[in-house]
A = this chain, B = another copy of it.
């Protein structure tokens, strides 16, 4: 509240940059999409000499996040070229960041990607998994048992 949506998104993105930095990674936040380039770009790229991660980051005050299909295509193309893991990071209010490989997300009829809060909290990777630390204990495969 009080912050326009874009400012909030931007401040959440900085939070994620700080987390990667705190975990010992080098991090670059890419210029805002659409800024004088048609080259594929994620929101940020982080690396620690062992693991490289490209992230498209979305924060939401509601219970569902939609990610534009074109942004996801750009993320995948960039990650493929660069040599990085492609991750969509979602951050719901009062929750921790959760991460998904784009291929694990629901695609709407319109070609966009949808993440529900409940799915994110149940199936998403947490930050420690993304940076290569401890893994969550997970039921294998399906993930619909919970």
A residues near B (Cβ < 8 Å) are 14, 17, 21, 24-31, 36-37, 39-42, 45-50, 52, 54, 78-84
List the B side residues contacting A48 at CB < 8 Å: 81-83
A46 CA to B78 CA, complexed, in Å: 10
Name the CB-closest residue of B to A40. Answer: B26
Partner of A26, one of B24, B29, B82: B82
Which chain B residue shows the least CB distance to A39? B21
Residues of B within 8 Å of A41, CB to CB, are 28
CA distance A28 to B27 in the complex (A): 11
* A39-B17, A39-B21, A52-B47 as given contacts; A84 in contact with B26, CB under 8 Å: yes
Interface pair B27/A29, CB less than 8 Å apart: no
